[in-house]
Structure 1
């Protein structure tokens, strides 16, 4: 006996039959969720009205079609294979899936795929229970863009203020220090003027990648403006090693579009609470220290000091 979502609500005059557990579950969920039933090969054999309203496909359009026809190409094939491996073992899978509607719109679903067994050990059908989370994902996207640099995807100045507040609070509680490093790429305008802004953008991306590899904590590397970066270092025991690594990351030319481009940087540093306990002052003092060595040959570093303009270190590009 075949049951469809459209059967729900109709009175049955037939003799009582044993309730199908899948039909009971479908009946309970059909009003609130996007429901899809797949056979053991992952082909669509039933769906509900919420599915039709979301994807603009009817059961006639998709009947015995592979469910992954809705695949948006957002996920890697291996990801989908892993899902299918889980459910074929009879295990439930839950997660987020990006699908494409008949109108080529992307839809994000929070989905649970429930294997259903009849008499055999292997699942004979799969019930996909989903909710549309596209609005939530869009909000997440805009929140991410508001707090990250659009080119390098690093946290931006807005995030710097939030993380600084948290890091200083931690340092106060532990009665410890933290370092704020301000870094500016030397003669970056010349790179843009000589090679074009597209090459300049690629240089910025490579600088950000190298900084993240040095610090190993992406959330503590901030892209605050065009060619300026700020780093927060809480582990003062590693400060000297990290500063040296930052300077050396410019020792090798940057290969961009088959061009070999020498890049150097000026780096300034302030220390909490030695130089200030005020968040904005710490960034300001690191910026002042950076400008004290700006324009010198090679990559230069200086710790903030009101009375000294001499660099603490210089690293010449080879």
Structure 2
């Protein structure tokens, strides 16, 4: 009976002598456990791998106790593979003395692997192999607990893919799944630790960085993630382009618990998407209010079109050779009844996400055509087309109807289309271009060079113009910049294809002169004019020809950001409220103190725990120029921030005011003798007026 049990593989029997050496082992199991040496005569413990971590239930310990044990799990290795066994034993006593063990063992490798696979599937995303939402939630909870015990930070990144839905809708869900797999691989390459990257579902991902709070490093990682996620993908022969937006929150500054931290990272992500997508944002407390403001704004936006609150303004497009206006770009403006003019930067992303953009886009197209029909016949009007509008199969018919209703000649309408419409080559995209060109309208490729541009766009799509994005224009005059060469190449390419070029965002004369030297056809920007209402535009072109003389600063200045807001500076035991007049990565200009000598050290309080040490390099009357010891870093929103922050608890304990709305020097702490100390510097005589201006602004 025993031999039959062994032969059919239900288990094996073994026995040892009093010293633990094997005296019998089922033949069927000897090869698996003993190899070429066999099992007989060897220590039973040697047949198995040591326990993973010391514990009192290790096999040697159980054997030493000389007592009965059941179902003890051990491992062995054979040909590089790990086998799992369940071992049971009964001690043999002869005349009251221990004589060895009689035992049974069973190969449970398949059951163990099945259990591990089930456990893995429960904690990992089946599509990408990344950890899933459940596993990430557990990991984040444990990580935050450990970090709190050690007094260390932990950063959380929330990542959302831009334009992923269009891939699903255009190429199908199978292509979307293949794309997500490639995105996951790219994220892991950037982060470096697969177990810290999770797919939460859909096109949402989450990454944690235990022990990291340096916003310079985190901003760099976020930038890398956006860059690699935005590179083209090849899916079943189709070329796909998407993007990514990232939100970042850091414990303990942005939340102690996992729910609060994830919520705040989500708010930062939402702000990044609302700021135009393809960027990153750090969480700041203002985002809590901004989220509520956005919700209210969306409610108002739903009724704005019906209430007639939109306007179309026109920014002149000027021929650089003779400063003559040859056309305009139609730009929508929202005149809110209570909030006044609201920037398109704020409401267009909301309109896109809430599916209101098609209605607004149609209204702008019809209004622009109707108003342009009354202008002199040589002027063209350019209208932006969102990817959602372009994807609508009824869009060419809409354009035809707008032209017919207004009486505008088709050649005077220019449709500006961004690269994001090119999710696949050929197919409906080419058909849409063919239909639009059949109407006789002009097509312009907008924001050229900001994505992963393909010359195939220019080969296949019948564009009449390339618009050079302002991001190239702004950096073109800086020393060592390659933007000049890029603009020259774009212009040469356009001329070879018999296309016009328009440089966007030209503001200063050095930029303007460079565009002219590179033979860019047209210029658009504040150097000529901002966008103006139709009534003003019609007055300007009343004579039929409008020539604008360029007017602007001689040189572009990006480094220093002008502002007017309250901050504080700390010197010795005193906190001084001041006004921040401008800010750069390396320093700042403050106003409000008098009698400050050059070389004075200040700790600058920029708010929300952002402290940086500085030295006064220039001091004149009530203004001081400061140089920071450690440069600031980009905050992902066009601003600057410190690399690290200080928790509010030690700041409060040190006596730092909860806000900067104090009227004069504030002693942060009491001296040991209990007496107050005198501030080293006085406040400017116009301090109260400056504060009033700060509050008004």
**Under TM normalisation by the shorter chain, which class is it?**
0.5 to 0.7
Q: TM-score, normalised by structure 1?
A: 0.59
2:152 corresponds to which residue? 176
1:317 corresponds to which residue? 451
Match of 1:203 among 179, 186, 189: 179
1:230 corresponds to which residue? 206
For residues 277 and 140 of structure 1, the distance between their equivalents in structure 2, rounded to whole angstroms, comes to 33
Distance 1:95 1:296, change over 3 A: farther
- What is the 5 A alignment of 1:88-167? 94-95=77-78, 109-110=83-84, 131-167=107-143
Alignment partner of 1:258 is 2:237 = yes
Distance 1:317 1:279, change over 3 A: same
Contact 2:272 2:278 in 1 (8 A): no
For residues 109 and 163 of structure 1, the distance between their equivalents in structure 2, rounded to whole angstroms, comes to 29
Q: Deviations over 1:146-187 (max 9, x none)?
A: 000010010011111111122212221232221111111112
Query: What RMSD, in angstroms, separates the aligned Cα atoms of the two structures?
Result: 3.4
Contact 1:185 1:265 in 2 (8 A): yes
Distance 1:248 1:201, change over 3 A: same
1:300 corresponds to which residue? 279
Contact 1:178 1:232 in 2 (8 A): yes
Distance 1:168 1:316, change over 3 A: farther
For residues 184 and 96 of structure 1, the distance between their equivalents in structure 2, rounded to whole angstroms, comes to 44
Contact 2:223 2:279 in 1 (8 A): no
2:195 corresponds to which residue? 219
2:262 corresponds to which residue? 283
Distance 1:279 1:185, change over 3 A: same
Figure out how many residues of one structure are paired with residues of the other and give that number. 215
Q: TM-score, normalised by structure 2?
A: 0.28
2:636 corresponds to which residue? none
Structure of higher RCO (CA pairs closer than 8 Å, 6+ residues apart): 1
Distance 1:223 1:36, change over 3 A: same
For residues 274 and 240 of structure 2, the distance between their equivalents in structure 1, rounded to whole angstroms, comes to 18
Cα offset, 1:97, TM superposition? 7.5
Q: Deviations over 1:5-45 (max 9, x none)?
A: 89x9xxxxxxxxxxxxxxx96x62218x73448xx9x9xxx
Distance 1:133 1:245, change over 3 A: same
For residues 303 and 146 of structure 1, the distance between their equivalents in structure 2, rounded to whole angstroms, comes to 32
Contact 1:184 1:227 in 2 (8 A): yes
Contact 1:192 1:199 in 2 (8 A): yes
Alignment partner of 1:187 is 2:183 = no
Q: Secondary structure at the match of 2:181?
A: helix
Distance 1:295 1:255, change over 3 A: farther
Contact 1:251 1:316 in 2 (8 A): no
2:29 corresponds to which residue? 34
Contact 1:186 1:295 in 2 (8 A): no
For residues 148 and 139 of structure 1, the distance between their equivalents in structure 2, rounded to whole angstroms, comes to 14
Contact 2:141 2:257 in 1 (8 A): no
Q: Deviations over 1:179-213 (max 9, x none)?
A: 11111111222111101111100110011101100
Cα offset, 1:259, TM superposition? 1.6
2:297 corresponds to which residue? none
Distance 1:143 1:254, change over 3 A: same
Contact 2:223 2:280 in 1 (8 A): no
For residues 95 and 248 of structure 1, the distance between their equivalents in structure 2, rounded to whole angstroms, comes to 45
Q: Secondary structure at the match of 1:265?
A: strand
Q: Deviations over 1:217-269 (max 9, x none)?
A: 11110111111000001233432332221121134211222221111012111
1:248 corresponds to which residue? 227
Q: Secondary structure at the match of 2:229?
A: coil
Instruction: In structure 1, list runs of 5 or more residues that go unmatched.
Output: 9-23, 43-92, 99-107, 112-128
Distance 1:275 1:96, change over 3 A: farther
Contact 2:77 2:83 in 1 (8 A): no
Larger Rg: 2
Distance 1:298 1:283, change over 3 A: closer
2:252 corresponds to which residue? 273
